[in-house]
């Protein structure tokens, strides 16, 4: 049932383009995880399992032809992956994988599509290449149903692929619970990925029954249904069985996560990044790192973090959703979220950069400096023990140890402006809103409540008084008492 959809020039003998829909089954609860969260939203490799499957689907078909079946906690799932632009189909009651496809009938039938590819929303390692191979094989074989299979050493728990006398065509898929002892010995398993002839799927799907140990409609039973109707059912084997691993249990999820992270490290190593002890690092799938950057053990790079070339990220640093330029040094124990760092900057050890921190080229932030929503200009330094929040700090500014921007009056946040070349003495408190003028000095331990003009010196502290001999007199008085 291959229909020509492209109306290209008649002289070119290109194979006819077929209209393909991709359906992702993601409505199940995931009972075996013992979790209050839906299975497909559990994260592996730093993002929801379903997000990986959608990313793969988008390499095969445009978002408008991708249909995600949601049911358990449908709104949460929709919210988590809605940004991908895919369609959602609600399976209000989850009555099995066959039932999941039944509810797609309205969205997909009516000759819009020639082929329906079905992916399991809980198997994130599947590659676009394998899905395309499945689809092309299905087309080439002129099959009604093609399933992806794999030979596993331990096939326990999976559906088994039954063929008559080792023939190419598949007779049926039998689930673990329904299988005979003889059938359980079959090592070829059903991976949970299929290609169907679209019209045939919707014509025959009502023949599924719930006569099985779970009382569910099994999509896998379509193999037997088509076989009995003398329609062609074939299987194609994956070259890499780890691709089809699902996430039914926490143990399986942990293994998927390890696979994804190791693959990520491998890709970075190949792209010229040095990673020492990669199995101690946690690097999310979408992270980018430039060549000749060195990542030390026990580093976490999370979310959409992007790191330039020739950087060094030292141990125990946790960097999330941040962008670092080239030649940045991040010393041990630095924590950073949603921040930006210019080339050649030096951070840490133990710097805490909260969202909205923007550090200019060659700037330094040292130990126990906390920042939030600040701009720190080129070459400026805050090397020790400071809190800098809601501040705009110019270039070449020196911020002494213990400086605090008092940005919060208990109700509202206010801004501190420190202009280029200013020098803030140690242990100063800058009570916002306040501006420290260009090139000015703030004396150590000042409490600054009024703006400081350009090139001025501001002193905001009590004058020191000295009582000569006071300590000696105190000691002598004590001695007298003790006698």
Question: Residue numbers of the site for Ca ion (CB under 5 A)?
Answer: 122, 246, 248
At CA 271, angle to CA 266 and CA 275, rounded to 5?
Answer: 55
462 conformational bin, left if phi > 0, alpha if psi -120 to 50, beta if neither: beta
**Binding partner of residue 69 among ligand UD1, Ca ion, none, CB cut-off 5 to 8 Å per kind:** ligand UD1
Q: Residue count at the site for ligand UD1 (CB under 6 A)?
A: 30
Residues 161-190 as b or e (16 or more Cβ within 10 Å = b)? bbbeeeeebbbbbbbeebbeeeeeebebbb
| 89 part of the interface to ligand UD1, by CB under 6 A | no
Distances (CA, A) of 16 to 6, 9, 111, 294: 7, 12, 16, 49
**Nearer CB in complex with Ca ion: 122/286:** 122
Q: How far apart are alpha carbons 94 and 219 in whole angstroms?
A: 13
Beta bridge partners of 370: 352, 387
Instruction: Give the count of beta carbons closer than 10 Å to the beta carbon of residue 103.
Output: 18
Q: Which stretch binds ligand UD1 (CB under 6 A): 97-105, 279-287, 288-296, 301-309?
A: 97-105
* DSSP-assigned letter for residue 15: P
Beta bridge partners of 57: none
Q: Catalogue the active-site residues.
A: 384
Q: Which helix (H) or strand (E) holds 436?
A: strand 434-436
220-259 residues near ligand UD1, rule: CB under 6 A = 220, 246, 248
- Minimal distance, residue 123 CB to Ca ion, in Å: 7
The single residue among 42, 52, 95, 138 that binds ligand UD1, judged by CB under 6 A, is 95
| 218 part of the interface to ligand UD1, by CB under 6 A | yes
Burial label for 412, CB within 10 Å (0-12, 13-18, 19+), is exposed
CA end-to-end span of the chain, whole Å?
Answer: 113
136-165 residues near ligand UD1, rule: CB under 6 A = 158-159
| 35 part of the interface to ligand UD1, by CB under 6 A | no
- Minimal distance, residue 29 CB to ligand UD1, in Å: 8
- Minimal distance, residue 24 CB to ligand UD1, in Å: 8
- The residue at minimum Cβ distance from ligand UD1 is 159
Q: How far apart are alpha carbons 26 and 101 in whole angstroms?
A: 11
**Binding partner of residue 219 among Ca ion, ligand UD1, none, CB cut-off 5 to 8 Å per kind:** ligand UD1
Q: Which stretch binds ligand UD1 (CB under 6 A): 10-18, 116-124, 306-314, 345-353?
A: 116-124
> Could you tell me the two tokens for 264?
């990520």
**Nearer CB in complex with ligand UD1: 67/202:** 67
- Minimal distance, residue 182 CB to ligand UD1, in Å: 17
**Nearer CB in complex with ligand UD1: 194/441:** 194
**Nearer CB in complex with Ca ion: 120/339:** 120
Is 28:71 a contact under the CB 8 Å cutoff? Answer: yes
- Minimal distance, residue 69 CB to ligand UD1, in Å: 5
- Minimal distance, residue 77 CB to Ca ion, in Å: 16
Which residues bind to ligand UD1, rule: CB under 6 A?
A: 25-28, 69, 71, 91, 94-97, 99-100, 120-123, 158-159, 173, 175, 189-192, 218-220, 246, 248
């Amino acid at each position: 049932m291959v229909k020509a959809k492209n109306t290209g020039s008649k002289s070119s003998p290109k194979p006819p383009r077929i209209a393909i829909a991709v359906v992702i089954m993601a409505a199940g609860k995931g009972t075996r995880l013992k979790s209050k969260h839906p299975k497909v939203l559990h994260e592996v490799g730093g993002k929801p399992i379903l997000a990986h499957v959608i990313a793969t689907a988008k390499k095969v078909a445009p978002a408008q032809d991708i249909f995600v079946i949601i049911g358990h906690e449908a709104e949460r799932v929709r919210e988590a992956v809605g940004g991908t632009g895919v369609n959602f189909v609600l399976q209000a009651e989850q009555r099995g994988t066959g039932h999941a496809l039944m509810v797609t009938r309205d969205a997909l039938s009516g000759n819009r599509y020639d082929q329906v590819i079905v992916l399991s929303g809980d198997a994130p390692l599947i590659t676009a290449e394998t899905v395309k191979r499945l689809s092309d094989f299905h087309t080439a074989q002129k099959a009604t149903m093609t399933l992806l299979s794999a030979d596993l050493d331990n096939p326990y728990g999976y559906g088994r692929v039954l063929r008559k006398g080792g023939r190419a065509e598949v007779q049926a898929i039998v689930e673990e619970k329904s299988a005979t002892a003889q059938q359980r010995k079959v090592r070829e398993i059903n991976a949970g990925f299929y290609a169907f002839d679209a019209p045939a799927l919707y014509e025959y799907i009502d023949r599924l029954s719930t006569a099985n140990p779970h009382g569910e409609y099994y999509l896998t039973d379509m193999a037997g249904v088509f076989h009995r109707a003398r329609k062609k059912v074939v299987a194609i084997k994956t070259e890499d069985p780890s691709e089809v691993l699902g996430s039914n249990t926490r143990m399986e999820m942990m293994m998927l996560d390890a696979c994804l992270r190791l693959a990520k490290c491998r890709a970075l190593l190949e792209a010229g990044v040095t990673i020492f002890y990669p199995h101690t690092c946690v690097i999310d799938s979408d992270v980018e790192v430039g060549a000749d950057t060195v990542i030390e053990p026990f580093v976490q790079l999370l979310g959409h973090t992007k790191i330039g070339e020739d950087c060094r990220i030292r141990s125990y640093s946790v960097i999330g959703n941040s962008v670092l330029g080239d030649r940045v040094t991040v010393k041990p124990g630095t924590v950073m979220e949603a921040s930006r760092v210019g080339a050649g900057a030096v951070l840490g050890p133990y710097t805490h950069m909260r969202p909205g921190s923007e550090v200019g080229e060659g700037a330094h932030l040292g130990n126990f400096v906390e920042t939030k929503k600040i701009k720190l200009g080129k070459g400026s330094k805050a090397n020790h023990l400071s809190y800098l929040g809601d501040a705009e700090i110019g270039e070449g500014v020196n911020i002494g140890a213990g400086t605090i921007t008092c940005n919060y009056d208990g109700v509202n946040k206010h801004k501190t402006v420190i202009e280029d070349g200013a020098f803030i003495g140690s242990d100063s408190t800058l009570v916002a809103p306040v501006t420290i003028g260009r090139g000015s000095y703030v004396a150590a331990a000042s409490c600054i409540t009024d703006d400081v003009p350009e090139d001025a010196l501001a002193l905001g502290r009590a004058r020191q008084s000295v009582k000569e001999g006071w300590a000696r007199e105190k000691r002598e008085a004590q001695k007298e008492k003790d006698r």
